[in-house]
């Protein structure tokens, strides 16, 4: 590897989804190999990267204001290089360089592996650069790069999205769907296990569109990883309701020792007409049927979802349908958003946009409803015995933190403080819940 960094600091700030979190880790790993040293504040860096998100308008604004904050740093250190990667970079390309004179380079979501070369180029030539071509034709082969894997690791299994929901910019910022090979993924997961990883979260914009070169689908991938690797826990996100089928439910049940009983199943709206205009590919009833199928097949499964309020044309009654669906399903947790028009998308051109005031009011109503539901559902966890994979020990507070199979965060004390407590990290233990809050449980370690 070239010595591009010469020991300088690199600072990366991350917006958006887990895909971006994982991409940031990859950037750090690649730049470290090129002799950059990760630092925890932009003031210490010779290279600053913003890994951006464009799924809604707010995170896009954040990119602009964050770059602005570095003006003073660049004034003191003209050699400082500032780049933007991720989905805003992919969406705006050269326009972003033109709009923000402070920027040195812009790189798209398929340009991550070439990042060290790009930085070298920018440094040597002192020219500003854009690298934002999609590599849609290339096979997707990217071994997971994690510097110091903990107990749990993200593994990309596919990238891109071909669904074109009418509100969503992701198909334009992540390109066409491409999947990694099955054997490659088995080897990747095994390599992580050898480095101490106990749990993997398989990542993709739409994981159940996974299709390997040899024709294996997502169900086969899950089964293969459960049977042919020593990983202890498998999670995945995000699954699209239209592609969630009985086979996947059956495999989840058969392999329930490894495949976790928590599923994120974004519904977006509870009204069939809205769903149609969103191009989601299912009706309210079909979604509810899938929920029944999942609940019947995977006892005790916990569900979460994403919801958009104020999609163009959404009437008050249609919004009520979303509230009633949320009540009917009883999600443990929801991620609610006010609709935000995005470039290139069909819905941004719909003429019946909902006023902001209505969107905010609906969002608040939905949040209030879910708060009640989450509190009610949390009570079911009181007194339960859960299998917890321990992720961390906090010496100052002498307490252990881990996750239950349902992805609930659980806090509890080790049997005795100090020596030995650290040894619980990476172990799966039984914990009895003493007090249950919506997303956090307090418990005691069982012998």
> CB of 64: closest distance to ligand SF4 in angstroms?
23
Q: Tell me, residue by residue from 228 to 267, as one string, x for binding to ligand F3S by CB under 6 A and - for no binding.
A: ----------------------------------------
Distance of CA 249 to the CA centre of its chain: 22
Q: Is position 244 an interface residue for ligand SAH (rule: CB under 6 A)?
A: no
Among 5, 86, 204, 270, binds ligand F3S (CB under 6 A): 86
Structure-block tokens of residue 102: 């402070």
Q: Which is nearer to ligand SAH, 226 or 363 (CB)?
A: 363
Q: Which stretch binds ligand SAH (CB under 6 A): 145-153, 210-218, 244-252, 336-344?
A: 336-344
Answer for the pair 128, 97: CB distance below 8 angstroms, yes or no: yes
Answer for the pair 429, 198: CB distance below 8 angstroms, yes or no: no
Q: Which is nearer to ligand SAH, 89 or 226 (CB)?
A: 89
Q: Map the footprint of ligand SAH across residues 153-182, applying CB under 6 A.
A: 167-168, 170
Distance of CA 131 to the CA centre of its chain: 24
Q: Is position 404 an interface residue for ligand F3S (rule: CB under 6 A)?
A: no
Among 48, 50, 55, 221, binds ligand SAH (CB under 6 A): 55
Q: Is position 109 an interface residue for ligand SAH (rule: CB under 6 A)?
A: no
Q: In whole angstroms, how far apart are CA 170 and each of 84, 90, 134, 156, 312?
A: 17, 10, 13, 16, 19
Site size for ligand SF4 (CB under 6 A)? 10
- Residue 287 CB neighbour total at 10 angstroms: 25
Q: Map the footprint of ligand SF4 across residues 149-188, applying CB under 6 A.
A: 161, 163-165, 168, 170-171
E strands of 284-379, at which residues? 302-309, 333-338
Dist. CA 88–CA 50, nearest whole Å: 10
Choose from ligand SF4, ligand F3S, ligand SAH, none: what does 342 bind? Cβ within 5-8 Å by kind.
ligand SAH
> CB of 306: closest distance to ligand SAH in angstroms?
3
Q: Tell me, residue by residue from 205 to 244, as one string, x for binding to ligand SF4 by CB under 6 A and - for no binding.
A: xx---------------------------------x----
Q: Map the footprint of ligand F3S across residues 155-174, applying CB under 6 A.
A: 169-170, 173-174
Q: Map the footprint of ligand SAH across residues 391-420, applying CB under 6 A.
A: none
> Token match 């881990």: residue?
402
> CB of 306: closest distance to ligand SF4 in angstroms?
8
Q: Is position 238 an interface residue for ligand SAH (rule: CB under 6 A)?
A: yes
Q: In whole angstroms, how far apart are CA 180 and each of 28, 216, 273?
A: 22, 11, 35
Q: Which of 21, 20, 76, 84 is nearest to 48 (CA)?
A: 84
Burial class of residue 61 in the structure, from the number of CB atoms within 10 Å of its CB (0-12 exposed, 13-18 middle, 19+ buried)? exposed
Interstrand relation of 428-436 and 385-394 (parallel, antiparallel or unpaired): antiparallel
Dist. CA 380–CA 330, nearest whole Å: 12
Q: Which is nearer to ligand SAH, 168 or 389 (CB)?
A: 168
Interstrand relation of 440-445 and 37-38 (parallel, antiparallel or unpaired): unpaired
Dist. CA 144–CA 146, nearest whole Å: 6
Answer for the pair 178, 140: CB distance below 8 angstroms, yes or no: yes
Site size for ligand F3S (CB under 6 A)? 13
Chain contacts with ligand SAH (rule: CB under 6 A): 55-56, 167-168, 170, 205-206, 238, 240, 266, 268, 306, 308, 337, 339-340, 342
Chain contacts with ligand SF4 (rule: CB under 6 A): 161, 163-165, 168, 170-171, 205-206, 240
Chain contacts with ligand F3S (rule: CB under 6 A): 16-17, 19-20, 53-55, 86-87, 169-170, 173-174
């Amino acid at each position: 590897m070239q010595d591009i960094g010469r020991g300088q600091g690199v600072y990366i700030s991350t917006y958006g989804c887990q895909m971006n979190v994982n991409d940031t880790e990859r950037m750090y790993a690649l730049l470290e190999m090129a002799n950059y040293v990760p630092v925890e504040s932009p003031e210490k860096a010779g290279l600053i990267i913003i890994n951006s998100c464009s799924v809604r308008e707010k995170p896009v604004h954040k990119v602009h204001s964050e770059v602005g904050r570095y003006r003073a740093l660049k004034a003191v250190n003209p050699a400082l290089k500032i780049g933007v990667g991720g989905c805003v970079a992919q969406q705006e390309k050269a326009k972003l360089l033109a709009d923000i004179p402070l920027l040195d380079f812009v790189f798209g979501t398929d340009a991550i592996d070439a990042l060290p070369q790009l930085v070298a180029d920018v440094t040597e030539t002192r020219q500003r650069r854009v690298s934002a071509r999609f590599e849609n034709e290339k096979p997707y082969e990217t071994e997971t790069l994690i510097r110091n894997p903990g107990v749990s690791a993200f593994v990309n299994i596919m990238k891109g999205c071909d669904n074109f929901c009418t509100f969503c910019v992701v198909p334009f910022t992540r390109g066409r769907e491409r999947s990694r090979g099955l054997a490659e993924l088995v080897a990747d997961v095994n390599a992580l296990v050898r480095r101490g990883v106990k749990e993997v979260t398989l990542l993709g914009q739409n994981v159940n569109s996974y299709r390997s070169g040899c024709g294996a689908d997502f169900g086969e991938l899950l089964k293969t990883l459960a049977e042919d690797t020593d990983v202890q826990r498998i999670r995945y996100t995000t699954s699209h309701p239209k592609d969630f089928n009985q086979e996947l439910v059956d495999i989840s049940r058969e392999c329930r020792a490894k495949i976790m009983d928590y599923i994120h199943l974004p519904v977006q709206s509870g009204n069939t007409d809205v769903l149609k205009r969103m191009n989601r590919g299912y009706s309210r009833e079909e979604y509810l049927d899938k929920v029944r199928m999942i609940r019947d097949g995977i006892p005790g499964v916990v569900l979460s979802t994403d919801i958009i309020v104020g999609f163009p044309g959404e009437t008050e009654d249609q919004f009520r349908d979303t509230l009633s669906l949320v009540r009917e399903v009883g999600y443990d947790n929801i991620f609610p958003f006010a609709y935000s028009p995005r470039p290139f998308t069909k819905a941004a051109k719909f003429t019946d946009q909902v006023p902001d005031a209505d969107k905010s009011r609906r969002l608040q109503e939905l949040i209030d409803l879910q708060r009640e539901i989450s509190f009610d559902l949390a009570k079911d966890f009181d007194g339960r015995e859960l299998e917890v994979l321990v992720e961390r020990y906090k010496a100052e507070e002498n307490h252990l933190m881990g996750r239950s199979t349902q992805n609930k965060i659980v806090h509890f004390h080790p049997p005795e403080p100090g020596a030995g407590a650290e040894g619980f990290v990476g172990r799966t233990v039984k914990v009895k819940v003493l007090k249950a809050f919506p997303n956090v449980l307090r418990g005691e370690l069982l012998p």
